[in-house]
Amino acid sequence: MPNDTPTPRRLQTERQARILAASIDEAGDDLERNGPISPVELRARLEALEAEWSEDAADRPAGGKADPRKR
């Protein structure tokens, strides 16, 4: 029987997926209200999101794969 206990990494991935989904929904709403954005603006928004996620990753302690003996 597989272990379905959420791990910190899994929870972080799910959180990022929810943030991304919310961002996509927000972009869709913005598109409906204001029309399409330029490729330059789209690139800037994506770069800002990537920078934010990089900062989040940098704030977490460094580590490698979990020691399988500790599972």
Q: What is the pLDDT of residue 34?
A: 87
Instruction: Give the torsion sign (CA, 7, 9, 12, 14).
Output: negative
Ordered by start, the domain boundaries in the chain are 26-58
Q: pLDDT for 18-64, tens place per residue?
A: 999 999 999 899 889 988 888 998 899 899 999 998 888 787 766 65
- What pLDDT, on the 0 to 100 scale, is given for residue 4? 72
Task: Give residue 44's pLDDT.
Answer: 95
Give the tokens for residue 45.
């928004």
d(CA 8, CA 41): 33
pLDDT at residue number 71:
43
End-to-end Cα separation, the chain, in angstroms: 15
User: Which pLDDT belongs to residue 2?
Assistant: 60
For residues 7 and 33, the answer to whether their CB atoms sit within 8 Å is no
